């Protein structure tokens, strides 16, 4: 990286860390909707792109159905710790998906599954389109409108649905370094959209960037995000821990994961 790029990268990490303490959506307010100890079994659904996909199986084989990423780690922990609750977990992440792809398959891959808890991580492929295929890319405003549509449809189908929205992330590793300024700027724009939507829909915001920022003090970015976009096994574990911590703020019986 150039000196300017390095300064921008470090500044962005500092800002990302700061938002953990000042963003209102990270505060647990009394007006939030909570899930108490359920009388019926809950259904958890993970949605997104390749980071969520994790090379998951496309059939009902329980050995592969959740993939090998953060969704698998989070679901396996809850399923083992609360076996008596007969919880249901789905992973419908698809590698390469943009928010437009989610919109096209939303009825079949989300609403039809009737989730009680819906976790979404999307945006990095939308940014990749800006860099690699700008003629087909959607603007941040279009990204917001489409994302808003799938959230609204989900809440209409289940007004008691608990939403978890993950912030997209990218780091100057591998080919990302070639257009780092553009990658960084466009991801920040989509991240701001996700923050606004989380506030509007009373969703739990999963601030993955702040988690990785802290981790970079221990090891270099490539240890956690091997190509600037996709996490390593260590990176996925950090994501799973943060996901569990944040979801525990709204699902009472998961309070053991709060710290």
Q: Is 119 a catalytic residue?
A: no
Catalytic option among 17, 68, 227, 249: 227
Alpha-carbon gap, residue 246 to 172, rounded angstroms: 27
99 and 123 in contact (C-beta within 8 Å)?
yes
For the CA atoms of 66, 89, 101, 189, the dihedral, rounded to the nearest 10 degrees, stands at -90
Per the CB < 8 A criterion, the answer to whether 15 and 188 are in contact is no
| Helix, strand or coil, per DSSP, at residue 86 | coil
Q: How far apart are the first and last CA of the chain?
A: 36
CB atoms < 10 A from the CB of 201, how many? 16
Based on the residue annotation, tell me whether 50 is a catalytic residue of this protein: yes
User: What is the C-alpha separation between 257 and 259, in angstroms, rounded?
Assistant: 6
Helix (H, G, I), strand (E, B) or coil at 247: helix
Which is catalytic among the residues 50, 119, 184, 210?
A: 50
195 and 167 in contact (C-beta within 8 Å)? yes
Extract the tokens encoding 103: 């919109």
The H-or-E segment that residue 195 falls in is helix 180-200
Residue 230 is a catalytic residue: yes
What tokens appear for 49 in the block?
């792109």
List the catalytic residue out of 53, 184, 230, 236.
230
Active site residues: 50, 227, 230
């Amino acid at each position: 990286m150039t000196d300017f790029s390095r300064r921008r990268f470090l500044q962005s990490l500092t800002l990302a860390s700061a938002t953990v303490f000042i963003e209102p959506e990270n505060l647990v307010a009394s007006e939030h909707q909570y899930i108490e100890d359920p009388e019926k079994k809950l259904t958890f659904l993970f949605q997104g792109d390749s980071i969520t996909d994790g090379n998951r199986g496309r059939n009902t084989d329980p050995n592969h159905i959740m993939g090998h990423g953060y969704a698998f780690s989070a679901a396996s922990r809850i399923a083992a710790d609360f076996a008596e609750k007969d919880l249901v977990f789905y992973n419908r992440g698809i590698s390469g998906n943009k928010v437009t792809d989610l919109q096209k398959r939303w009825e079949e891959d989300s609403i039809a599954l009737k989730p009680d808890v819906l976790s979404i991580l999307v945006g990095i492929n939308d940014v990749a389109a800006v860099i690699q295929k700008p003629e087909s890319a959607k603007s941040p405003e279009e990204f917001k409108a489409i994302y808003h549509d799938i959230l609204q449809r989900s809440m209409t189908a289940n007004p008691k649905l608990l939403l978890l929205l993950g912030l997209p992330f990218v780091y100057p590793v591998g080919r990302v370094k070639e257009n780092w300024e553009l990658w960084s700027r466009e991801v920040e724009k989509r991240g701001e959209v996700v923050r606004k939507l989380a506030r509007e829909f009373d969703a739990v915001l999963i601030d993955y960037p702040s988690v990785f920022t802290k981790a970079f003090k221990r090891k270099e970015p490539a240890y956690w995000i091997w190509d600037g976009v996709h996490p390593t096994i260590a990176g996925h574990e950090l994501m799973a821990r943060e996901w569990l911590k944040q979801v525990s703020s709204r699902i009472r019986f998961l309070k053991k994961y709060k710290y």
